[in-house]
Amino acid sequence: MSGRAGDFGTAAARLTGRAATAERPLSGTLAEVALDDGRVVMVKRGDGPGTVRAEAAGLRWLAGAGTVAVPRVHGEDERWLVTERVPAGRADAAAAERFGRELAALHTAGAPAFGAPPPGGPRDATIGPAPMRNEPGDDWPRWYAEHRVLPYLRRAVDDGTVRPAEAVVVERVCERLPALAGPPEPPARLHGDLWSGNVLWGADGRAWLIDPAAHGGHRETDLAMLRLFGCPHLERILAAYDEAAPLADGWRERVGLHQLFPLLVHAVLFGRGYAEQALAAARAALAG
């Protein structure tokens, strides 16, 4: 680590009440900071208004379930977030199976409604750098279409990433969601942005969840996102999950349906390649 503390160290000292002795930047918005009590903490600079509050509330809500390992929040303000540092380990079969069981328990902890924000979290939150509105609803197909799929589809059309004639395919999926969604499920407590980069494999043999976009949702959405970019020992995770909290028949055929949301978010953020994947997922959902 650097021998002196800069902006990240200053923020850590202010929010923890301990002097910062060194810092090591990991990116423009993230650094490790050593404190004078021997701890090393993670310090993150927020991307905009409400982002830190949403992330801190999400971490506390996930931790409150007492299931999956989540870094402790040491302090936050409108711009900075200080959390526990997770010593790195490796992904192995035992850790993956434990993660599957713990993720099932997290989802089962539930949420007040689909789209419900974490306690203390804002309705106007983010998923990565994209805006995400946590507007509660009691009917998952209608809520998923109105608050997760269509807002990003409209933005992608406005940006020229999806052509208006192509958007019809996704709109048709939204119209048919009540028939495509499978059996009704109660609202689950979701991480909300569960791609493999937000799963840290700790030295303690557990999987730790970071950077949530937490809200109440359908549990198959977290699992579909976990599959989207690949995850070590994914089939072991899913098998352990299904044993702990059996999934409804046909859940594998619904993976693409649940990936529509993150794919359209990525289309808005990163362009046409993800739009084509989203359109392919929509066509497959209709064909199925």
The catalytic site residues sit at 193
Kindly write down the DSSP assignment for every residue of 23-49, as one continuous string: EEESSSSEEEEEETTS-EEEEEE-SST
Total length of the chain = 288
Q: Kindly list the distances between the CA atom of residue 162 and the CA atoms of 159, 176, 258, 264, in Å, as whole numbers in the listed order.
A: 8, 20, 19, 10
Q: How far apart are CA 142 and CA 268, in angstroms?
A: 22
For residues 249 and 242, what is the distance between their CA atoms, to the nearest angstrom?
11
The tokens describing 280, both together, are: 């392919």
Amino acid at 229: F
* Contacts (Cβ under 8 Å, ≥6 apart) of 68: 62, 99, 102, 103, 105, 106, 207, 208, 209
Report the distance separating Cα 201 and Cα 192, nearest Å: 18
Neighbouring residues of 115: CB distance < 8 A, sequence distance ≥ 6: 133, 134, 135, 136, 137, 143, 147, 215, 216, 217
